[in-house]
Amino acid sequence: MKLFEKIESIEPRTVMTIIMTVAVLLILVLVFTVEIPETNRDLAIATVGTFVGYFGGVITFWFGTSKGSADKQKELNKRSN
């Protein structure tokens, strides 16, 4: 039962961060190991750019000011209850 309690306590942002990290790494591995047909090359570049951009946003949140603001808000909510 403790496993289920731990799973329930995981924040959705943490899960999304893990999914994004795995997705970006998988896409980068595929880009460097699979030959992309010339007709799909622009689509592949756009897709990789999009995922890397999203990943940058996730990293910026976790290590930037948004994370600090979220933590501060959570602390203020605890104190007001």
Amino acid at 6: K
pLDDT value of position 1: 55
The full 3-state SS of 30-61, as one line of letters, equals: HHHHCCCCHHHHHHHHHHHHHHHHHHHHHHHH
Could you tell me the residue ranges of all domains in the chain? 14-72
Give pLDDT tens digits along the chain (81 positions): 566 666 667 777 778 778 888 888 888 888 889 898 899 889 988 988 888 888 888 778 777 766 677 778 788 788 776
Decide if 44 contacts 36 (C-beta within 8 A).
Answer: yes
* pTM exceeds 0.85 for this model: no
